[in-house]
Structure 1
Amino acid sequence: MIVLLSIVVVMVVVVTDVDVVVVVVVVVVVVVVLVMVEVAVMLKVAVVVVVIVIHSVVVVVVVVVVVVVVVVVVVVVVVVVLVVVVVVVVVVFIYWGVRASTTVMPTGFCCNVDLLLSVITTSVLFSSFYW
């Protein structure tokens, strides 16, 4: 590029009677403008690339946040359901225990506590296996 500009300067000086300093100043101004335009184009491309990268990062962050929120909601719902099931089972067995202690039950209906413990154990094992 410098060689081409030198040739242009020499040709302009030879063809016209313009002073060399004026031609050099004009050429330097033209070169500076061209460099600025080229830098602007490169920066525009760089800005576009940066915008694309930022957009991609924002999309990934939003997707990750949505997935985390959905997983947390699902976990909370599962835990609440398990707690409700365990509480209902305990209340039912306590009710049956109180009822059995106040009424005459047939022989063999003495395993309320064992059944309650097995249901609670199964619920706990299921919930730990689920995780």
Structure 2
Amino acid sequence: MEVEEEEVVVVVVVIVVVVVDEEVVVVVGVGVVVVVVVEVVVVVIVADVIVVVVVAVVVVVVVEDEEVVVVVVVVVVFLVVEVVVVEIVAEVIVVVVEVVVLEVEVVVVVVVVVVVVVVVVVVVVIEAEVIVVVVVVVVDVVVVVVVVVVVVVVVVVVVVVVVVVVVVVVVEVVVIVVIVVIVVIVGGGGVVVVMDVEVEEVVVVVVVVVVVVVVDEEVVVVVVVVVVVVVVVVVVVEVE
């Protein structure tokens, strides 16, 4: 059995600072493109479950009649596919869409974009001794855009974001194990024993961009924090 995974995460953040009538207008465009490709080739497959959850938030600020308007758009896509075949090649491509926005005065703007993509591949081969290999690819992309005068707030935000990401990963792994047990019981029955749970790879990337603008002898700080967490977990289950 072969299992190949490729993950590509691209986060694009564009910030434009404009001065209108001695007031600061911040235009923030956030575009996130997440591409997850999982290829699975097996001789016998009983269940293949692919779950994709996409949450996209895009904020755009526009100046209209010397006023600033902010529009927040949230896009949620939930997809579940179940296939039973002899040989399967599954490819999942997720593209987070970008959207529009309009008006409001900007002094403090906090925008959080969370993209969670979970790809679960469950392969069950019914023989004398059954071994189930579960490959979990969890991609959490968190983009935090903050317009503040105090940068210390950003430190607190980053700590909270990291804690939330860790909790989400733990919950997702528990859910995956439950899915494996259900699929194995439905597919072939028997007693399910979890033999091993290993975290193959954990990558955490934090990018911070700071833009300082002086307007009317006042300092405005624009801080963009991008946190990308990629976790690959392998669970080995034996059916007796």
Tell me if both proteins adopt one fold, taking TM over 0.5 as the criterion: no
Higher helix share: 1
Larger relative contact order (CA 8 Å, sep ≥ 6): 2
Query: Which structure's CA Rg is the greater one?
Result: 1
TM-score normalised by structure 1 residue count: 0.30
